[in-house]
Amino acid sequence: MSNYRLVDLVICAAAEAWHDDGEVLATGIGVVPRLAASLCMKAINTDLMMTDSEAWLVSEPVPLGPRGGYQPRVETWMGFSRIFDNVWGGRRHAMVGPTQVDRFGQANISCIGSDYRRPKAQMLGVRGFPGNSINHANSFFVPNHNSKVFVAGEVDMVASIGYNPARLPKGYTFADIDIRRIITNLCVLDFEGPDRQIRIRSLHPGVSVADVVSNTGFPLCVPENIPVTPEPSKAQLDLLAVLDPRDLRATALGA
């Protein structure tokens, strides 16, 4: 099977993140994470719950873009206040796109620069990152794997808690934090190195360890044998065509 694009492979790799989650709310923020969660709910873990990205849980993922004649199949009211009820109960796994990630898995979408009073670049604000990171499982999607995203030191504004012993709150252990995977345009990373070090889990076809290491601002755990990220199957590509009929994913890696 070679008739696929990198973004298709990335989405299929990202979809694996919820494989063993059972009945949790899968939230994918942005085109790639949302398609990944949708693909997972359709084909891998059909017990997942998902919203219409507005105020309802739906019994099947809503295709991206203008609806045409499609009516979302709502099953439960899920306004923002209830999203927080779910978050605080822990039955959720979100995949989000941070601006920066550091070696601890601490992530930032708030602002860039060393002077918080006067940031070099104001981004979104911390949004739900602090609450997500200490309440439920999280994965990250990084469309452009480079050392500006995977920074050498700590992220400029720690918006989500990571596996940083210096910041671990009283009474907490790493077991209270659950960062699963980071899916990028080069590889899949996880936190299964020694002491939760970030590890290369798989390399996308044609990508070398050196490509990943030289584009990452901190040392990675590099296993001796690293599998190649699986290519999408015909069935997965057919499903993606249904979930993204207008091919919004075509530019999702910044192409």
Partner 1 sequence: MGLTMDKRTTAAQAIAGLQDGMTIGIGGWGPRRKPMALVRELLRSKLKDLTIVAYGGADVGMLCAAGKVRKVVFAFVSLDFIPLEPYFRAARQNGAIDVMEIDEGMFLLGLKAAAMRIPFIPTRIGLGTDVLRHSPAIKVIDSPYDDKAWVAMPALPLDAALLHVDRADARGVCQICGPDHYMDDLFARAAGKVFVSCDELVDTEFFADPVQARQVFWERAQTTGVIHIPGGAHPSSCAPLYGFDAKHFKEYAASAKEAGGWSQYFDRYVACGEEEYLNRVGGLAAIRQLPLPVF
Instruction: Name the site residues for partner 1 (rule: CB under 8 A).
Output: 52-56, 65-67, 77, 79-81, 84, 87-88, 110-111, 115-131, 133-135, 157-162, 164, 167-172, 177
Closest by CA to 225, choosing from 245, 201, 191, 207, is 201
Closest by CA to 155, choosing from 196, 211, 98, is 98
Q: In this complex, which beta carbon is closest to partner 1, that of residue 151 or of residue 200?
A: 151
User: What is the rounded distance in angstroms from the CA atom of residue 113 to the CA atom of residue 250?
Assistant: 31
How does 14-41 read in b/e, with b if 16+ C-beta sit within 10 Å? bbbbbeebeebbbbbbebbbbbbbbbbb
Smallest gap, in angstroms, from Cβ of residue 30 to partner 1? 10
CA 189 to chain centroid: 11
138 and 105 Cβ atoms separated by less than 8 Å: no
Smallest gap, in angstroms, from Cβ of residue 25 to partner 1? 14
Instruction: With residue 76 as reference, give the H or E element that holds it.
Output: strand 74-77
Q: In this complex, which beta carbon is closest to partner 1, that of residue 149 or of residue 161?
A: 161
What backbone torsions phi and psi does residue 234 show, to the nearest 5 degrees? -55, -40
DSSP-derived letter for residue 166 is G
Q: In this complex, which beta carbon is closest to partner 1, that of residue 124 or of residue 152?
A: 124
Q: In this complex, which beta carbon is closest to partner 1, that of residue 19 or of residue 118?
A: 118
Smallest gap, in angstroms, from Cβ of residue 140 to partner 1? 16
108 and 116 Cβ atoms separated by less than 8 Å: no
Smallest gap, in angstroms, from Cβ of residue 62 to partner 1? 8
Q: In this complex, which beta carbon is closest to partner 1, that of residue 96 or of residue 188?
A: 96
Smallest gap, in angstroms, from Cβ of residue 84 to partner 1? 4
Q: In this complex, which beta carbon is closest to partner 1, that of residue 119 or of residue 230?
A: 119
Smallest gap, in angstroms, from Cβ of residue 238 to partner 1? 24
